[in-house]
Amino acid sequence: MTKPGKLLIITAPSGAGKTTIVKHLLATLPELRFSVSATNRARRPMEINGRDYYFLTTERFRQMVDQGAFLEWEEVYTDQYYGTLRSEVDRILAEGKTVIFDIDVKGALTLKMTYGDQALAVFIQPPSLEELIKRLNNRKTEDATSMKKRIERATHELTYRNQFDCTITNDDLAVALEESVALVRHFLGKTP
């Protein structure tokens, strides 16, 4: 039997910088492999099925939930589902790699509960809620209704930060990137 691999769970409210940090970790540490999540939301321009997400119909997503295909899943927004496919994680662990996740707060907590000490759960927080709102507005990817939902959700998600193994404040991106690499290297036993 192969030794179980490790899991690196990165979570944050939308706009805090988790995707930027995950991309940097993937570019810096070759032992990491990204776990592509599944969703039923519409694909945005420039997103590629199988790279950014597995884009599923709502019906297919629900079928897969019923079949037990997900390690965790959630209705993040009304009728908008996201989840972690068990097959995706098993595939990466079978390759002997460390799985890295870029997922929502509740999904992150579920994975941490499932994998315990095999997983490191990192919460990325913005320097302030005001800065987070500014970042979301600067994206220009949301209409007013969607933006309101994201801000409400982010405000709620910030209350979970103390439930994670550690928190990185993304005030200065270069510092946050450096901290994240050092933290992951330590978790993987790669520090002197």
122 close to 9: Cβ distance less than 8 angstroms? yes
Percent of residues, the chain, with pLDDT higher than 90: 75
Q: Token digits for 68?
A: 């037990």
Position 3 pLDDT exceeds 50: no
- Confirm if 13 and 158 have CB atoms less than 8 A apart: yes
DSSP classification of residue 118? G
Domain range summary for the chain, segments of one domain joined by +: 7-184
139-173: per-residue pLDDT in tens? 766 777 877 887 888 889 999 999 999 999 999 99
Residue 40 CA to residue 61 CA, distance in Å, equals: 7
Q: Is the pLDDT of residue 93 over 80?
A: yes
7-184 classified as CATH 3.40.50.300: yes
**Longest Cα separation, the chain:** 52
**Tens digit of each residue's pLDDT (9 = 90 or more) over 23-79:** 999 999 999 999 999 999 999 999 999 999 999 999 999 999 999 999 999 998 889
Predicted pLDDT of residue 56: 98
